[in-house]
Structure 1
Amino acid sequence: MEISKYCLLLLVASSLYYIVCSTTVSHDGRALVIDGQRRVIFSGSIHYPRSTPEMWPDLIRKSKEGGLDAIETYVFWNGHEPRRREVVYNFEGNYDLIRFLKEVQNAGLYAILRIGPYVCAEWNYGGLPVWLYKIPGMQTRTDNQPWKDEMQNFTTLIVDKVKEERLLATQGGPIILLQIENEYGNGDIEIHYGEAGPRYINWCANMAESLVSDVPWIMCQQSDAPQPMINTCNGFSGCDAFTPNNGNSPKIWTENWTGWFKNWGSPDPHRPVEEVAFQVARFFQSNGTIQNYYMYHGGTNFGRTSGGPYIVTSYDYDAPLDEYGNIRQPKWGHLKELHASVKLMEKALTYGEVVEDHLGNGLTITKFSGDGIVPGCFLSNQNSTVDATISFQGTKYFLPAWSVSILPDCKKEVYNTAKVKTQTSIMVKKKDNAGDQSKDLRWSWKPERLHDSAKGFGNSFTVNKLLEQKTTTVDASDYLWYTTNKGEELMLPLHLLLKTTFEAPLGSEPVVVDLLGLGKGEAWVNGNSLGRFWPNITANPDGCKQCDYRGNFQANKCQTACGEASQRWYHVPRSFLKRGEPNTLTLFEEAGGDPNQVNFQTVTVGTACTSAGEGDVLSLSCQGGRTISSVDFATFGEPDGTCGAYVSGGCGSDEAVVILKNACLGRDSCSIKISDKIGTSCAKLASPRKLVVQVTCS
């Protein structure tokens, strides 16, 4: 599969720049091979339509700073081809896939392009255009000629576009992996599709390979993926035990779910970073070499064409970068340290021989070593309740329950998945400096009576039955308007609140609008859809209990916001706003809500907490131009309470407070090394001593 640069130089001597920058991509049963070297790859999902082009560079930069090597995205068919075989397809705005890939390239990262074109992704119809269902004889995702014609047409369109822009790695671009189909093997193919299912998968593989043969193709969740497709694993866990169906395929985790999506009427789901890190470390301990976080930035379901009817507008996903693009701590920082630790043993992981020693009770020592290679070791405790101490090569190592320690030289522990040392950030929403803007918003509104019917049907049409929504509106609207046979309109409680104007909040922090008090509908700012709103539906009051990261994770294991509005805050990207002039907010309200509580706020770090032991470096940071305005708490030991609500405990240190104030006040970030000179009043505490700090950002 590799391409000889020497041969290309002879054949394409006029394209010297391309030849110099081209990258060879192949694979063996151990790893992806890039320019002849086996590589460990950390990747993260960012879906370009769930953010804005103006956000992309910052999101990608923060991903790279977090230790990622690659950005992964699906391709969203119904966004690019909303109407069949248009002369000009939609690659504008947040559907500008080529611009997104070039931003990835500009940042010096690789790209993984999952074309599908069925994507699932909690996206309307899994990304399939609704017009497909109006084609005679259409059966999607099977050995059906109308489906294969349309799928091949769109897949070819995408491949041709990335080739034209020289975005494949072998052309000097960032794309190192491509995906065809998506999670087709999740269910029983024989039950759903009979013999047509395997025929279809083989057709997909042959079609994909005919379009691109010098960059590998993957099929996720496809245990019978035909060669040369690489089958991959998805899930919260279990990918450590996954084995590809071919000995020449590396072990790839395409979707490590960093959180979960949220439904209307459900609490906020969270996945603790200790559990995410544990599963990632176990994956690499078990010969995995390519891992992708789904999602690294979840984003927002802008517009009514995404998210599906049961998914809230936010697609935050508890990802390392939150819905608005802020760094979520400690998840982002703890995973960054994990990436750096694993990278220290990249050579051993990809070239070394593996020896495992199972000690019983869930304890395992795994060593990667070889001639001329610095060895690397993992010590894992898979017991979900019992801590342990392991003796290894004359040294004792403490392993909390459900944790993995990483020893890049098989001597010193540089990382443990359960020992979080990075800061915790508590995000707050703040009103503009002008005060409570909701008191200044003046609304104009009127009842909405629809006079135009679904696009393509003229001003009116007559039928003697209720219509099927999907095929009638072709996904252009969520609404159908009926009149009686007497010509009278059915007066449903639909209202357009025509609009209000507001000033954009000052600064550069992300902006949100609070829609609490409204009923159900859709919102726009300056003509840009913010998505569906339904703040008067509340989350189930049951289910929010104390979260324990230990043990295999499920979507409902760690939840917050029980009994609260499913969603009240809606992202308003800064690029939607105009500075120094009025902005327009328009609300389509179908349930008769009250807009008087609506107001705009910004999202930022309010409180930051961290801890560090003697000899460690303690680091703190704010975001969005905010600076550390006060040192609220500093103690050695284990204080009572949690970040944002520490009350007592440990040994308070006046010396530490003074040093922290001198180093941190008025700055957006600071770092100090903890020495025995900090906290001499706490000298009687037994070692090792840990300093716990809380500061305010404003």
Structure 2
Amino acid sequence: MASRHTLCLLLVLAAAGAAGASTVAYDDRALVIDGQRRIILSGAIHYPRSKPEYNFEGNYDIVRFFREIHNAGMYAILRIGPYVCAEWNHGGLPAWLRDIPGMQFRLHNEPFEREMETFTTLIVNKMKEASMFAGQGGPIILAQVIENEYGDIMAQLNNNRSASQYIHWCADMANKQKCHDYATSIRMVLIISITVEPTLAAPPVARTSQPATTTMLLWMSMPKYGHLKNLHNVLLSMETTLVHGEYNESSYGENITIKTPASVMVMRPSTAEEPEALNWSWMPENLRPFMTDDLGSFRKNQLLEQISTSSDQSDYLWYMTSLEHKGEGSYTLYVNTTGHELYAFVNGEIVGQKHSTNRDYVFQLESPAKLHSGKNYISLLSGTVGLTNYGALFELVPAGIVGGPVKLVGANGTAIDLTENSWSYVTGLDGEHRQICLDMPGNNWRGRNEGIVPVNRPFTWYKTSFDAPAGEEAVVVDLLGLNKGAAWVNGNSLGRYWPSYAAAEMDGCHVCDYRREFNAAGDESDLQCLTGCGEPSQRFYHVPRSFLRRDGEPNTLILFEEAGGDPTRAAFRTVAMATTVCASRGEHDVIAGVNVARGSCGAYEGGWES
């Protein structure tokens, strides 16, 4: 089934050899593979992030994915889910589940448990049939089933009995899969595992990688390649001692200075010289069909919830209505929405735009609106930027203009309530239905030869051609100058972009001070080193080389600019590792339970102690 809204997997790749059938167990000290205690150094790959759709054909062949892991000489830890959180829409659970009668996410009810068992059985059977478990000679040494971070939300569900029944059902269902016949099926083992994966946070500020050494046994989200590579090398060098030996603690006083090597990633032009400006063509999004309420998919005398109405087939849902008015009049249009963003049009003209600036998403749009005598049209475009993925009953969190109210208020206080008007609905944009992102023949691109490209124009499509950067270094596109929208390379989605969304300005930004205990929880007390305040939350977007055509074939970048930006500033760059630098940890740092390398900054020298 090809759908961008089906269930998700998370795979963890463990850097260790995997050859022949293996026996996997664990004791109170470590994971035991073929009778040997092992340290597992791992990184997580969110399988569905590689493509916007998810099925088992072509590039979505998960069995082939595991074979490649095996061929690379690595173990794999399969986290089946289906709820994986992972900053993914609904934590990986598809929106269509909400429409099944009697459905309650992550509680004891037949509809959810039926769908969950169907998915789990499908994945496990695929792995068994392809001999992917360690006991069959495959790479999978652990199967992590079946829930994720459930303890944190059980108390919030207000149904302890149902939650308890559900979690026991999960255990029974997992045992029925008999994964333990082929690999160890456990949720957690006593191993040192460095998990590197991105997280989304508000406000979006960057932190350095140095605290990783003081919290290496905790959950981390600091993808600093050079620093972790060196840390991994140290851990592997003392693997035998860690899993078998005893440890001693030594104090070196309060004024010790520790230097650690760290590699810095730099962005550089895609060629030796600064690249020439990209040559753009453009096309306006066709808004005309949505400026009246004549051509909707259906009508309702109420304002509907967006996710259920659109089945999450698009970020966008149109709400369109009309009203008769005698003479001309000036009003303020009030729209109450559960977000995440909203555009308002009156008689074909955009009159207002707003997006939520808080986690609750609820906000009110106030825009001037002039009505003429006769029939007037009001069109509201509601947009989402991802669905809630965590918390109790998150599937019940609404989006869109559900319930409103929507009203026009005159200067004299008179109000026209449109909440229960006849509203017409359409999911998605015209350009989405026409699949402009695939650059099929017949699209009327403008400005290809004139060199005139409008900037800061909302609801505009842009297209350019470019050559694949030489070499094998990672490729990114720098979208600084763009506002908010979505990007595709050769028809492959790079996802949403929003470089105009800036990190918050916070006191103490750009000043690093580690002279107290590091708090990995990420709360306000964890402000020892903040950078990037006031800067774009993200400006570089990864372009997998598998998306690119080589040997001189042209590549196509297509942007849909929703809010109005400047594509002429966009550029392609490659990512290189700069020369290793030394970073110092100063006096009064609280360092607990960390193996500190003593020696020169650079190559590891000397022994190690706690």
TM interval, short-chain normalised: 0.5 to 0.7
Structure-to-structure mapping, 1:493-642, within 5 angstroms: 494-543=458-507, 544=509, 545-548=511-514, 551-554=517-520, 555=522, 556-557=526-527, 558-579=529-550, 580-609=552-581
Name the amino acid aligned to 1:26: A
Compute the RMSD of aligned alpha carbons.
Answer: 3.4
Q: 1:277 to 1:44 in 2, by over 3 A?
A: same
**Separation in 2 of the partners of 1:691 and 1:260?**
28
1:141 maps onto 2:77 in alignment = no
Aligned pair count? 432
Q: 1:608 to 1:346 in 2, by over 3 A?
A: closer
Structure 2 partner of 1:277: 213
**Which of 190, 205, 219 lines up with 1:251 in the alignment?**
190
1:530 Cα deviation from its structure 2 partner: 0.9
**Separation in 1 of the partners of 2:130 and 2:318?**
45
Q: 1:27 to 1:610 in 2, by over 3 A?
A: closer
Structure 2 partner of 1:150: 115
Preserved contact between residue 462 and residue 561 of structure 2 (Cα < 8 Å): no
Identity in percent: 44
Preserved contact between residue 467 and residue 553 of structure 2 (Cα < 8 Å): yes
Name the amino acid aligned to 2:236: A
Q: 1:169 to 1:466 in 2, by over 3 A?
A: same
**Separation in 1 of the partners of 2:545 and 2:140?**
29
1:343 Cα deviation from its structure 2 partner: 1.0
1:432 maps onto 2:432 in alignment = no
Structure-to-structure mapping, 1:37-186, within 5 angstroms: 37-51=36-50, 80=54, 89-93=55-59, 95-179=60-144, 180-186=146-152
> Secondary structure of the equivalent of 2:321?
coil
**Separation in 2 of the partners of 1:689 and 1:211?**
50
Structure 2 partner of 1:408: none
Is the deviation greater in 335-344 or in 124-133?
335-344
Partner deviation per Cα, 1:86-133 (whole Å, 9 max, x = no partner): xxx44542x433222222211222211111211011111100011110
Structure 2 partner of 1:34: 33
Q: So what's the TM-score if we normalise by structure 1?
A: 0.56
> Secondary structure of the equivalent of 1:345?
helix
Preserved contact between residue 25 and residue 33 of structure 2 (Cα < 8 Å): yes
Q: 1:265 to 1:588 in 2, by over 3 A?
A: farther
**Separation in 1 of the partners of 2:463 and 2:29?**
59
Name the amino acid aligned to 2:199: F
Q: So what's the TM-score if we normalise by structure 2?
A: 0.64
Unaligned runs of 5+ in 1: 1-19, 53-77, 81-88, 220-231, 233-249, 284-292, 296-316, 321-327, 350-367, 369-376, 382-386, 390-398, 402-417, 612-637, 639-687, 694-698
**Separation in 1 of the partners of 2:319 and 2:37?**
62
Name the amino acid aligned to 1:44: G
Preserved contact between residue 79 and residue 90 of structure 1 (Cα < 8 Å): no
Q: 1:489 to 1:509 in 2, by over 3 A?
A: farther
**Separation in 1 of the partners of 2:27 and 2:541?**
46
**Which of 346, 364, 379 lines up with 2:249 in the alignment?**
379
1:490 maps onto 2:379 in alignment = yes
Partner deviation per Cα, 1:428-451 (whole Å, 9 max, x = no partner): 222233744462422222233275
Unaligned runs of 5+ in 2: 1-18, 323-374, 382-456, 585-597, 604-610
Name the amino acid aligned to 1:342: M
Preserved contact between residue 167 and residue 175 of structure 1 (Cα < 8 Å): yes
Q: 1:610 to 1:552 in 2, by over 3 A?
A: closer
Structure 2 partner of 1:200: 166
Preserved contact between residue 87 and residue 200 of structure 2 (Cα < 8 Å): no
Q: 1:578 to 1:439 in 2, by over 3 A?
A: same
**Separation in 1 of the partners of 2:464 and 2:112?**
46
**Which of 348, 367, 370 lines up with 2:244 in the alignment?**
348
1:442 maps onto 2:441 in alignment = no
**Separation in 2 of the partners of 1:154 and 1:332?**
36
1:138 Cα deviation from its structure 2 partner: 0.3
> Secondary structure of the equivalent of 2:63?
helix
Partner deviation per Cα, 1:156-208 (whole Å, 9 max, x = no partner): 00000100110111111111111211111123448533211111111111111
Q: 1:251 to 1:450 in 2, by over 3 A?
A: farther
Partner deviation per Cα, 1:385-411 (whole Å, 9 max, x = no partner): xx439xxxxxxxxx948xxxxxxxxxx
1:260 Cα deviation from its structure 2 partner: 5.8
1:261 maps onto 2:131 in alignment = no
Partner deviation per Cα, 1:235-261 (whole Å, 9 max, x = no partner): xxxxxxxxxxxxxxx53567x565862
> Secondary structure of the equivalent of 2:215?
helix
1:211 Cα deviation from its structure 2 partner: 0.7
